[in-house]
Amino acid sequence: MIDQLEQWDKSLFKFLNGAHNDLFDFLMPWISDKWVWIPLYALLIYLLVKHEKGNLAFTLIGIGVLILISDQVASGILKPWVGRLRPCHDPELADSVHLLKGCGGRHGFASSHASNSFAVAIFCWVLLKDHVKYIWLLIPWAALVAYSRVYLGVHFPGDIIAGGLIGIGAAYFVFFLKSRLEKLKPLKNG
């Protein structure tokens, strides 16, 4: 069963990574670059400060814990434990991978880009969905960041699906903790 899933994952990778064009060759390295999104992160912090009137301290601490969990589960625990090679390091695929940037570390399961972007997207969506009309656009943004990793040849689709699920789980877990802590002991803002 695992072998069959891996073959499907490799086939889907070949299809997605092989469907490249000049426009995406230009855009995807930018989409995958975490520093490009600093203005978005600043906007999200502004929106959280504006709308999280109750316990902003718990929200900001929650974001730090959220990124710590999502990133460490994907990169610190799963990558070394599972040890699945990135497509660009896989001897079966390495010569055919459309690689636009460096390959990155040796192991790719699970994608921390996918984990972190979905964690931020879902956490902010849950907190802001009643206040910000277009906050749902964070979900396609996270999917685009995740897809860029396959397009760039550094992750299999299974890596980004696992990373996305880790991020979503981390978001709901931290939201649950934040909600419980706010009920126990409110922190004063400012």
Looking at residue 190, its pLDDT comes to: 47
Band of residue 186 on the pLDDT scale cut at 50, 70, 90: low
Structure tokens at 129: 């969905």
Q: Is the pLDDT of residue 37 over 70?
A: yes
| Spatial distance between the Cα atoms of 161 and 123, rounded to a whole number of angstroms | 18
Residue that is written with structure tokens 């396609």 in the block: 140
CA proximity to 156, closest of 75, 97, 91 = 97
- What are the pLDDT digits (tens) for 16-33? 998 889 999 999 999 999
- What are the pLDDT digits (tens) for 89-119? 888 887 888 888 888 888 999 999 999 999 9
pTM here? 0.89
